Amino acid sequence: MDETHIPRHQRISRLPKFLFGAPYYPEHWDEETRKDDPERMAAAGVNVVRMAEFAWDLMEPRRGEFDFALFDETIARLGSRGIDTILCTPTATPPAWLTAGHQDWMRVHADDRRMAHGSRQHCCTTNPEFRAESERITDAMARHFAGNPHVIGWQTDNELFCHIAECHCAACTAGFRNWLKDKYQTVGELNRAWGTQFWAQTYDNFEQIGIPYEERPTYPNPGQHLDYMRYMSVALCEFQRGQVKILRAAQPRWWITHNGLFSYVDYWEFAKDLDFLGVDVYPAFSVTEPRKYPSASLSNETARAASGTYIVPEQQGGSGGQRPYLLETPRPGQMRLWAYQSIAHGADGILHFRWRTCRYGAEICWYGILEHDNVPRRRYAEFSQEGAELQRIGGKILGTALQAQAAVLVSCEQDDAHATMPFGLPSPGWQRHFAYTEMLARHWPAGLVDASDSFDGLQWLLIPSFVLMDEGLAAKLRKFVEEGGTLVATARTATRDKNNQVIAQTPPGLLAGLLGVTVEEFGKLDKPLLTIERPGGEAIPVGAVYEILRPRGAETLAGWSAAADGCPHAASGEPAVTLNRVGKGMAIYVGTYISEENAHALFDLLPGHDGVTPLAKADSLVEVTCRHAEDHKLYFVLNHGTGEATVRELPAGIDLISGSACSGSVTLPPFGVAIVEQK
């Protein structure tokens, strides 16, 4: 099938089987402890494990002396039970013999503290000598395992930028300067783009430019800061690309992924070198009560937006904890529920972290499927239930993609631009969370879509305060509206150019014509002095900021109302939300931010989502998504609540979990799951 013109978020992984298993660390255990692992895994339905991401010191105990015996033996034993292996490049943890005497390879904090051996990700991925060593071990592994039939794919490194992204070492400084030379060609053009006349920052040559500091003594140039964030992502892509080229050359049948997702990485670009992306999902970090389940949905959606269907190399199994914290243990049924939540959003593989809880090291309380004593208990039974179910239904899941009629736009660059100058205001990610939470509560077929992706198939699109705007994105948004889509933009959208400079035009700048409105005044609200007056309805709370709007062809949907004890200038009665009809569609401007308090009321106010058909009728603690293919649809119904839930107005079909017919409604127990197949 030609996928050239398919939006990337709709692309499928092309995996030949649904992956189910766990990360596995044979190097942490003696033979006696490992002996029953293949049988126990096979009995639980495991068909894949992930190995070797932290085992460089074992595979190369001395320079050039490679010893892959433990992994050869382990891969063969597991393979004899039908269990394949995903190998990892072990570059997050280089051995001590390699880093000794190479302090210049280490990452450097903004306060000039240099990293040291004894943890992970301490070597700088920009350093050319460390990159060469990373490619050398990758090449040795690739050549050794190229003929192994049980090795099916690779993960590059492990959670790049998980702990630290910024680095102030000499290699990063030199790399940043070279990147700037390529981008701007002349230092004069750089001075113009950064506005260096402010605070006498004008540069005479590129060698004068360093990496920006957050506070030395005050704040950095926002153009320089954003460019450095861009450079960090570009440099990381280059580091990964070196490994990917080696792996592809060694064995073309291997697929390649990575596990993320973390700040300052443009995963849209990062994923171009991969077959599909991976995301590590630990809901207990944020899902501290059932109503917060969308946090985990957003993690999955961020991967899907960058990659299409994806896998989860680390899905939460037990509790998780390191020195300063310990997460709550998932309740009975929750581990399985969270796995199906990932699948519901597009995962084609689930590996529960980890197979057995380690007895030493920094993660002795990062609980896996088996406890420290190696005794199977509740989590193993739940894991086995999940494995048996996925053995039966995994083939029906493969080849399907998430159905999305509505979307929230996502962009790493917009998040980074906000981070350069946050002003104490909520980020696009903050609004993204509450907007998408509201879409889930309404049971819309919805998701996240990257700003670089095609908008084909979408009907309703929300832009959460994208401050940067260029002509390409502006034209793309206009085309979406002209062809019948509904666009919703929130306050401060299109107020800066790609150099992170404020535009000379009245906001929303390049979108003023499309939105049919200009912004007369903007301000932050520390106290709720204003509300949005909804015609015939209750007042809508303001979301941290206000903008007084001046329609330029748009109609007013709602206006501001001021409190009696004072308000911003000329706000009372002035337009707060407008609608402009363009071509076959509508462009809506909301003069505030979307928040937890106002999301529901704002969505009620905003038109244009009549064509977005809810997938079912259910309580807001029930999550409903649909994955679709040409010949069938799968409706995932997940009860995140602690009580029984009845879901109505589903299509008729068969619940693949229970095998029972569904005539339009299902009743789920706490943490229950149904997958209704509609032919």
Q: Which residues are catalytic?
A: 159, 314
Q: And the tokens for 548?
A: 């007084």
Alpha helices in 401-470 (DSSP H): 412-420, 428-441
Closest Cα partner for 461 from 433, 489, 432?
Answer: 489
Task: Give the C-alpha distances (Å, rounded to integers) separating 116 from 106, 107, 242, 315.
Answer: 7, 8, 24, 30
Closest Cα partner for 634 from 607, 606, 657, 612?
Answer: 657
Contact (Cβ atoms closer than 8 angstroms) between residue 342 and residue 300: yes
Alpha helices in 352-457 (DSSP H): 378-397, 412-420, 428-441
Longest dimension (CA), the chain: 78
Contact (Cβ atoms closer than 8 angstroms) between residue 678 and residue 645: no
Cα dihedral 258, 498, 226, 463 sign: negative
Amino acid at residue number 440:
L
Residues 6+ apart with CB under 8 A from 409: 448, 449, 450, 451, 461, 462, 463, 464, 466
Report how far residue 203's alpha carbon sits from residue 428's, in angstroms, rounded to the nearest whole number: 32
Secondary structure class of 174 (helix, strand, coil): helix
Amino acid at residue number 314:
E
Contact (Cβ atoms closer than 8 angstroms) between residue 600 and residue 438: yes
Closest Cα partner for 275 from 251, 299, 295?
Answer: 251
Closest Cα partner for 262 from 277, 252, 275, 273?
Answer: 277
Closest Cα partner for 156 from 260, 309, 298?
Answer: 260
DSSP single-letter state for residue 114: B
Secondary structure class of 137 (helix, strand, coil): helix
Residues 6+ apart with CB under 8 A from 601: 534, 537, 538, 540, 541
Report how far residue 625's alpha carbon sits from residue 633's, in angstroms, rounded to the nearest whole number: 10
Amino acid at residue number 36:
D
Amino acid at residue number 574:
E
Q: Is 625 exposed, middle or buried (0-12, 13-18, 19+ CB in 10 A)?
A: buried
Q: And the tokens for 398?
A: 């493969």
